Structure 1
C-alpha cells in the first residue's frame, strides 16, 4: 500500500492589518476652526489692546455738554475698534432707539472699564444677573429691560437717561418732585430747630447769633 501525501490547502494571503484608530487620533487629525470672540469678550480686553496714545484713553464724554450724545459717539468709537480687531462689521439685532441705547451702553461700559477693569462675570455678580444675560445686552441681541438698565446705570456711575435718552424728561420730573419733597422736609426741620433756639433764648441763653444763622439758611434755601 503506497502512502499518499496530502499537500496543505493554500488559502488567500492575509491582508496587512490597518493601524487601530482611536477617537483621540481622529480628533488630532481634525483641524479645529478658530472661534471668533464676541463683542463682550473683546470689550473685556479693549484697553489692553488699544495703543497708549489712542485718544479714547483720555476722552471724557460725561464731562462734555450733551453727555448722552457724547457717550454714544464714544460707544461708536469703541465698537469700531472692536470691529477692526475682528476684521468685519459687528451685526446686532436691536434697532432704532434700542440701537442708540446699545451704543451708549457700550460707551458707558468701556468708560467704566477704563478705570475699574471689571469683567462681565464680576459685573453680573454685583447686578444679581447671570453672565449670559449681561453678554446678550452687550452684544446687542436684546433690548435692555428697565430693571437691567437702572442696575447697570448705578454700577457704571451714569444716569439712566445717559444710556437711554428718552427717559430724560420723565426722570427729570421725578427728580424735581424728589427735590420738592426734600426741601419741604428741610423747611420743617428748620422751623423746629428755630423754635428750640427761641425757647433757649427766653431762658437766658445767648443764642441770638445761632438764630441769625438759622434765618440766613432759611432764606438761602428759599423756604418760608
Structure 2
C-alpha cells in the first residue's frame, strides 16, 4: 500500500512484508476491539517519508510495533492508546526521528528494548501537561536514549512500569529537554535506573522528578539544570537522593 490510513476494528496481526506509506503521513487507527490482551500486532516493516500517527477511539486499545522500521522517516505520534515496542528497531534507530506523545492517556512501552529516538517534543494537551506515560513495562531492563536536536518539553511520567525491569535514561543531542512531569513516585511508577546527560541541557522542574535514579552521569558536553517550578524562593524541591 502507499499513503492513507490503516484502520483496525478488532485484534489483528500483520506478520511480514512491508507497509509503504509513501510520501504522505501515515496513520494507524484502532477503532475498538484491540485491548491489552488482544492487541493489534504490526510485525511488518514500515516505510514512509513523512511520519506515522497512531490513534485510537478507546484509551484501552493497544498496538505492538515490532518490525524493522529503519526506513520509516518523519515523526511518530502516539495518541489515546498504548503503543508497545516489540523490537529494538521498532522506531528508526539508524536515523532517529522525533517522538510525540501527544494526548492525555497515551502510553509508550519500551517492552525491554533499548530504544533510540529523536527529539521528544510533547506530552502536552492544549498546552497543559499530564496523563502521558513512557515506561519500560518488562521483566528486562531497558534504556531510552533521547537525541534532542531542538528544544522540547515532556510533561508526562517516565517510569519503570510493571514487570520489574528498570528503565534508564540517556539525554544526548544539542537541544534542551524540559521535563515537567513527575517521575518520582513509587518504585513501579518511577524511573530507577541510571541517568546520563551526554550533550545539551536536561532541565528538571523538580529535583524529585528523577529522585530514584541509582546512578547519575554528566558528560563534559552535558548540563543537568534544576529549576523549581513552584517558586524561585522555595527550594524544598531541590533535594535529590540517589539510591545505592
TM-score normalised according to structure 2 size: 0.22
Which structure ranks higher in relative contact order (CA pairs < 8 Å, sequence separation ≥ 6)? 1
Structure number with greater Rg is: 1
TM-score normalised according to structure 1 size: 0.24
- Hey, which of these two has a bigger chunk of helix by percent? 1
- Hey, which of these two has a bigger chunk of strand by percent? 2
